[in-house]
């Protein structure tokens, strides 16, 4: 079985100066801006250029000299085909990755009594929720409140701005981590070579 190790989960939500996030995020954004986005089935992800996403632009290295992210995306697709990832699975993977990018654009503010999402005309909450298969209100509830079970009842606790940010980041890390550890299970085994010398 294929073993996974050393996933740098912190990179998903925070990158150092002059560094990039994981390559696939930039590839997805490049593909979504390309004329063949519909054919590649990435137009539905609601993605903009990579520099519009906090988790990609923060390092200041959105574009890497001599690197064509769209061409790299096509190579990624080919590699997925070679290892046996089905088209439907691939689409679901891209939905999760796009949701992570939209989640990273969510900002919070403390009103003095409650923590609220900062309004954004691009609607990252709605886009992330749609990609994850839930409603905006359900996702917002998870981000802004914590459910605590006490005896026979469940109490809803308001999160602070910092706690909401931590909740957002934890969800993004968990999504990527699950994807990272699931993918090797989809790699089709390579048949062993025949015994003896080839004729």
- Specify the CATH architecture of the domain 9-186: Up-down Bundle (1.20)
Nearest one of 73, 72, 67, 26 to 49, comparing CA atoms:
26
Residue 54: per-residue pLDDT: 94
Residue 185: per-residue pLDDT: 77
Confirm whether pTM is higher than 0.85: yes
pLDDT tens digits, 106-119? 999 999 889 999 99
Confidence of residue 191 (pLDDT cuts 50, 70, 90): low
Confidence check: pLDDT of 192 > 80:
no
Q: What is the DSSP string of 4-65?
A: -----GGGGT---TT----HHHHHHHHHHHSTTTTTTT-GGG----GGG-HHHHTTS-SS-T
pLDDT tens digits, 42-96? 999 999 999 999 999 987 778 878 889 999 999 999 999 998 899 999 999 999 9
Residue 129: per-residue pLDDT: 98
- Structure tokens given for 4: 């996974």
Residue 62: per-residue pLDDT: 82
The percentage of the chain sitting over the pLDDT mark of 90, rounded to a whole number, equals: 64
- Structure tokens given for 135: 């409603």
Beta bridge partners of 116: 109
State how far the Cα of 107 lies from the Cα of 179, in Å rounded to an integer: 24
Confidence check: pLDDT of 35 > 70:
yes
To the nearest whole number, what is the mean pLDDT of the chain? Answer: 89
Contact 84, 187 (CB under 8 A): yes
Average pLDDT on 23-33 reads 96
> Residue ranges per domain, the chain?
9-186
Nearest one of 83, 107, 44 to 185, comparing CA atoms:
83
Confidence check: pLDDT of 158 > 70:
yes
Strand 108-110 and strand 115-117: the pairing is antiparallel
Average pLDDT on 163-190 reads 87
Confidence of residue 172 (pLDDT cuts 50, 70, 90): very high
DSSP 158: E
Q: How many residues does the chain have?
A: 199
Q: In 10 A of CB 188, how many CB atoms?
A: 9
pLDDT top residue among 95 and 153: 95
């Amino acid at each position: 079985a294929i073993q996974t190790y050393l996933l740098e989960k912190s990179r998903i939500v925070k990158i150092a100066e002059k560094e990039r996030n994981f390559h696939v995020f930039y590839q997805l954004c490049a593909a979504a801006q390309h004329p063949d986005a519909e054919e590649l089935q990435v137009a539905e992800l609601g993605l903009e250029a990579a520099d519009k996403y906090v988790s990609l632009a923060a390092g200041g290295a959105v574009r890497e000299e001599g690197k064509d992210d769209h061409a790299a995306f096509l190579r990624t697709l080919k590699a997925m085909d070679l290892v046996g990832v089905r088209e439907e699975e691939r689409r679901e993977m891209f939905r999760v990755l796009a949701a992570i990018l939209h989640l990273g654009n969510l900002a919070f503010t403390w009103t003095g009594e409650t923590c609220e999402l900062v309004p954004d005309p691009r609607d990252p909450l709605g886009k992330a929720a749609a990609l994850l298969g839930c409603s905006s209100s359900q996702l917002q509830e998870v981000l802004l409140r914590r459910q605590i079970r006490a005896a026979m009842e469940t109490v809803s606790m308001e999160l602070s701005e910092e706690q909401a940010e931590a909740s957002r980041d934890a969800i993004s890390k968990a999504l990527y981590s699950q994807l990272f550890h699931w993918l090797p299970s989809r790699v089709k085994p390579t048949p062993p070579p025949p015994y003896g010398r080839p004729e």
